Amino acid sequence: MKLLDLLFPPRCLLCGALLGKEKEYCSDCRKKAEEAKGLVLKRFGDGAVLDAKYIDSAMAVFDYEDIKESIFRFKFHGAYGMGKGLGELMVSVARRSFPYLLHRPTLVLPVPIHKSRMRQRGFNQAALLAKELADAEGKPMEEAVLRRVKETRAQMELERKEERLSNVKDAFAVTDLAPGSIVLLVDDIYTTGATANQCAKVCKKAGAAEVHVFTLAAARRKD
């Protein structure tokens, strides 16, 4: 057994169960990962919906409730190695259900975190996922194009829609985006789309032709 395995025993990417001989997933979750079809949040070509009018399409892999332990470990326990596995899962679901998400974009952008959070956490979880999606079809992934210029609270913590909208308003800025870019915007969680929509808005104002959103989870709220 490797020392690393003793210090950090391999756990299932989705449920966190300790693994024996299995790789990446426990047997229950492997089935779930292999069969995942993904969730359609906003279909390409649909009319503008409230909160998300700058987004051309939005897809997710799992409902948040089905993957929340995994996301928690990924983000807050520094489970850095999970990025690759979860990113690969996003790639396989995109290939199966939303292949345009891999083929159409000219550029992959992670939803950025503020630099103070970057110092605290040491990595942007969205960038780890974005890297896998970009590499799948040899597309460029840029971390510096889209920046979070305002410190914001987690959207999931905010109950009221007005709070969520004002929390992310004017929170993002874009530099050096090639006009006509077709952007794949990647994040871990899609709540109401307010964050992704603000990112898409600054990208479109900077000349992006389309912005498509792909997240690991969707925590859908009704309001």
Q: Which residues bind Zn ion (CB under 5 A)?
A: 12, 14-15, 17, 26, 29
CA neighbor of 123 nearest in space, from 182, 190, 78, 60: 78
Cα 123 from Cα 172, distance rounded (Å): 18
Cβ closest to Zn ion, residue 17 vs residue 118: 17
Q: Quote the least distance from Cβ 61 to Zn ion, whole Å.
A: 15
Cβ closest to Zn ion, residue 12 vs residue 41: 12
Q: Quote the least distance from Cβ 19 to Zn ion, whole Å.
A: 8
Q: Quote the least distance from Cβ 15 to Zn ion, whole Å.
A: 3
Cβ closest to Zn ion, residue 28 vs residue 170: 28
Cβ closest to Zn ion, residue 35 vs residue 176: 35
The two tokens of residue 110 are 């992670």
Q: Quote the least distance from Cβ 185 to Zn ion, whole Å.
A: 28
